[in-house]
Amino acid sequence: MKNTGVDDSEAEWPGTEGRPYLSNKQVCILATSILITSLCALVYQLLISSLSSYLLGSSILHFSLTIGFFMFFMGVGSYASKYLVKNLVEQFIQIEIAIGFVGGISAALLYTSFSLSKYYYISALLIIAIISCLIGLEIPLVARILRARSELKDTLANILAVDYLGALFASIIFPLILVPYLGLMRTAFMIGILNTAIALVTLRAFLPYVVRAKRLLFLGIAVISLLSVGLVFSFRLIGYLEGFIYQDPIIYSAESSYQRIILTKHKNDIRLFLNGNIQFSSIDEYRYHEPLAHIILPKLPSREQVLILGGGDGLLAREVLKYKDVKTVTIVDIDKRMTDLGQKNPIFQKLNDSSMNDPRVRIVNEDAFGFIQESVERFNAVLIDLPDPNDLAIGKLYSVEFYQAIKKRLTADGMLITQASSPFFARAAYWCVASTLEEAFDHVTPLWVYVPSFGPWGFHIASSVSYSLQDGDIPVSTQYLTPSVVPSLFVFDADSERVPTDVNRLDNQKLVEYYEAGWNEWN
């Protein structure tokens, strides 16, 4: 290929005069470096977005802010690159090492900031600014280096093609490999090591043109060593930091593709947290699960086929299986790690009476929306025990489209009951679920229960036929629910009574907005 040359003011390297010569090997290494660093850059964005969502909820907000600030500061870095006029390869290597270091420790820094201070957002913004500014410097520098081998239009086309390819790889391996098998903090350390390693490979390839080669080599090795130590001890570090977040000792922690799972224990109180949000306390969980099962099941003409959406802990299945005429309980929970806990963990087995191992139970690890759309089965009852609608992925499971699809899977006299957050703490969100159900079903009945671990907590019952829900016997053993208690669950205080809301649809997701606004008043 013809050597077109570059301006000396742009790409004068130490030890050369005029136009530098790039070998095919050097060009390939630079291209590989762009591929790897592009992959690392997107992983850092996904890491910070995911970690912010795990710790603080509101995935829409945090993904939007992270991507927006990343793009802005990358622009700042690109603009600043015009002031780098000498020793371009050496500066490129320095930038790569710096990105590897800051990106590698980013998750640890954010965990620390969240656990030990009130300045998480400031810390996140500083980390984003540093990483993205440095990333913004990369492509302009490489473009100016490679102009020694090709025209500008070809150089930019090739660089951007490789850059986007790296982003594609990152978007695939992050949710499918990195998070499930390494977790967020170990992923950060691992990607930082990779980022720094490619910088050292580039250093070796361009050794004749680098004045401070020994210094960069020492710096790169030091960064890789430090990140390797962090990688090895990341579990201990996470455990130490999470000890400041949770009041009680942590007895189990794991990170799946979908959520951070934490189990704590204090005396006889075992608590499950998903992404920092409490899911149950063993002391009072029955006050939540009994109404979810025993308000509708005694009323049904038949309860042979029961569908549970969510409920991977097996506690709701425990209540359903108390009815001997139930033939099949299908539990649909997207997170296999959660259902494995419910099925195999001795603590959960004790809490759920080994319900997940009952021969009547069928476990399906699939997205509930997809399952409902693809299923051809008919169910007498659908019990929805899903997480609160704090992001779009969960919000769709409270949409009118979802409820209409469930209606098709219910028998003509079947019933649906869903948890619907708190009518007190998230009042508009709670009544939004009612408005949404009313778009799909002829009869919708709200109710609530007081759970000490949660506070006032609400449900909605929906069906195509009318049922008298406030009277009748409960034919199974319960700890809290009795025939005399049931009528009180349908009475709402003045500060929890219905307020007008929009219907939650897939194209507006108003419920997520209501939910965030409601809980933000209390946080």
Q: Give me the active site residues, please.
A: 385
Q: Three-state SS for 445?
A: strand
Which residues, 6+ apart, have CB-to-CB distance to 413 below 8 Å?
Answer: 300, 301, 302, 380, 463, 464, 465
The vertex-442 CA angle with 441 and 445, nearest 5°, equals 85
Label residues 18-45 b or e (16+ Cβ within 10 Å = b).
Answer: ebbebeeebbebbbbbbbbbbbbbbbbb
33-36 long-range contacts (CB < 8 A, ≥24 apart) are 33/96, 33/142, 33/198, 33/199, 33/201, 33/202, 34/138, 34/139, 34/142, 34/159, 34/162, 34/163, 34/166, 35/162, 35/163, 35/165, 35/166, 35/169, 36/166, 36/194, 36/195, 36/198
Q: What separation, in Å, do the N-terminal and C-terminal C-alpha atoms of the chain show? A: 62
Amino acid at 389: P
Q: Three-state SS for 355?
A: helix
CA-nearest of 8, 164, 9, 196 to 100 is 196
Label residues 347-359 b or e (16+ Cβ within 10 Å = b).
Answer: ebbebbbbbbebe
- Return d(Cα 308, Cα 366) in angstroms, integer: 12
Q: What ranges make up the beta strands (E) of 311-439?
A: 328-332, 361-364, 379-385, 410-419
Distances (CA, A) of 51 to 86, 92, 109, 124, 126: 38, 29, 11, 10, 15
Q: How many residues does the chain have?
A: 523
Distances (CA, A) of 44 to 50, 361, 484: 10, 40, 55
Side-chain half-sphere CA neighbours of 435 within 13 A: 17
Label residues 175-193 b or e (16+ Cβ within 10 Å = b).
Answer: eeebbbebbbbbbbbbbbb
